[in-house]
């Protein structure tokens, strides 16, 4: 499976899709993902350090494990996946086709790991869940990881996560490693948004990408689901609640390697409607041979601009607070005095006495205070002890 995509590519599907010769991964990378990768690639001796580190990582063991206990995709095994893999490499102009394995696991999942040569692994749960076009987007997603070099950092993340468990008994040792793991997870969540974009470039079918994410969230029940309603969940998730909910969102996402599926769907739809995506589809995109000339400063500036725009446009209560502080909002002191409830995403506080109608009985929080909306009075429901449900593809 390490041969060129030119061999045997006559089996590509008949549906015409645009190809992107020489495309750089910068064409689809999320700004935060892109700035981190550009900086890492510019570090002197970066490749040498990671090649040395590879001796400590269980990459050889992983390769042997998948070779011995999974099914390797080829023209004789899972041939339809083999065609999709070669097609994705052809569309994104990835010359060396990664090895791909199908692993018996009912949980729908996929990953791309490896230091020297990426390996793509998909579970049987994912293969059985998705139709052809949905699966094409997932395969494109994983090929996007390979093209971006994400497999290297994912392998390191897996290694450090395992190491953190082993040294948990050492005072402060686990804390230091988990700090690195947390930072890597934050970066990797952004890299998943990048790979979703790569999957769209490969499949070139936004509805298929949306369906795939819905199925990962709700199973194979498309007749019971609706894309528009699914995207509305993402809007409600971002805008609802107060600062307590903003904190809980952060706590819920910290253990995850993937963003939540509704968020991924909303981000992908937003990118599909952008000028950047349209220019890429029209053939105007960054080229791989220009990567060496990429400015780290420009990449960080673009990343900072993206986050500033996100803060300004976000409906999340915490992001609104950050924006208010930056803008010097006149009522900020009053809202701080009123506490967390003052930043609720619902209606603004009614005028004070003499300025308009008086508040109803019990004040703005209602007759029973903050615990009256169904929480336990401790500031909202607690995040699950074991993190979150298992991440999807």
3-state secondary structure of 370: helix
Dist CA 243 CA 229 (whole Å): 25
Q: Which letter, b or e, does each residue of 352-369 get, where b requires 16 or more Cβ atoms within 10 Å of its Cβ?
A: eeeeeeeeeeeeebeeee
Cα–chain center distance at 102: 22
Strands 71-72 and 119-123: what pairing?
Answer: unpaired
Short-list 241, 192, 321, CA closest to 249: 241
Give whole-number Cα distances, 45 to 40, 41, 48, 367, in Å.
Answer: 10, 9, 5, 64
DSSP assignment of 199-256: HHHHH--HHHHHHHHHHHHH-S-GGG--HHHHHHHHHHHHHSS-HHHHHHHHHHHTT-
C-beta separation of 94 from 28 below 8 A? no
Residue 89 exposed, middle or buried by CB count within 10 Å (0-12, 13-18, 19+): buried
Residue 142 annotated in active site: yes
Identify the active-site residue in 29, 133, 134, 142.
Answer: 142
Structure tokens at 350: 């009614």
Structure tokens at 250: 């952060």
Short-list 22, 140, 165, CA closest to 81: 140
Q: Could you list the active site residues?
A: 142
């Amino acid at each position: 499976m390490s041969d060129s995509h030119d061999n045997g590519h006559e089996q590509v599907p008949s549906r015409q899709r645009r190809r992107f010769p020489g495309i750089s991964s910068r064409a689809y990378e999320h700004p935060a993902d892109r700035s981190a990768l550009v900086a890492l690639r510019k570090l002197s001796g970066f490749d040498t350090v990671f090649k040395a580190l590879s001796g400590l990582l269980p990459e050889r063991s992983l390769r042997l494990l998948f070779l011995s206990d999974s099914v390797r995709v080829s023209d004789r095994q899972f041939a339809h996946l083999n065609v999709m893999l070669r097609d994705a490499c052809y569309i994104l102009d990835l010359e060396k086709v990664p090895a791909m394995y199908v692993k018996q696991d009912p949980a729908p999942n996929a990953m791309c790991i490896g230091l020297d040569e990426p390996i793509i692994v998909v579970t049987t749960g994912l293969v059985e869940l998705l139709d052809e076009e949905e699966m094409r987007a997932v395969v494109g997603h994983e090929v996007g990881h390979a093209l971006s070099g994400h497999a290297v950092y994912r392998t390191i993340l897996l290694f450090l996560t395992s190491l953190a468990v082993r040294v948990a008994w050492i005072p402060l040792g686990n804390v230091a490693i988990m700090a690195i793991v947390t930072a890597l997870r934050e970066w990797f969540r952004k890299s998943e948004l990048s790979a979703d974009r790569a999957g769209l470039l490969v499949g070139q079918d936004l509805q298929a990408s949306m369906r795939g994410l819905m199925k990962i969230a709700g199973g194979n029940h498309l007749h019971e689901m609706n894309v528009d309603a699914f995207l509305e969940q993402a809007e409600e998730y971002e805008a609802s609640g107060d600062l307590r909910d903003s904190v809980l969102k952060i706590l819920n996402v910290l253990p995850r390697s993937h963003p939540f599926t509704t968020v991924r769907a909303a981000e992908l739809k937003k990118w599909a409607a952008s000028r950047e995506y349209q220019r890429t589809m029209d053939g105007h995109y960054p080229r791989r041979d220009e990567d060496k000339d990429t400015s780290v400063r420009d990449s960080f500036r673009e990343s900072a601009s993206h986050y500033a725009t996100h803060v300004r446009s976000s409906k999340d209560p915490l992001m609104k607070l950050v924006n208010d502080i930056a803008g010097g909002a006149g009522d900020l002191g009053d809202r701080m005095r009123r506490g967390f409830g003052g930043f609720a995403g619902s209606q603004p506080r009614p005028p004070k006495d003499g300025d308009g109608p008086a508040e109803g009985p019990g004040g703005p929080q209602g007759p029973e205070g903050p615990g009256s909306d169904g929480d336990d009075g401790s500031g909202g429901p607690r995040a699950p002890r074991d993190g979150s449900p298992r991440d999807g593809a």
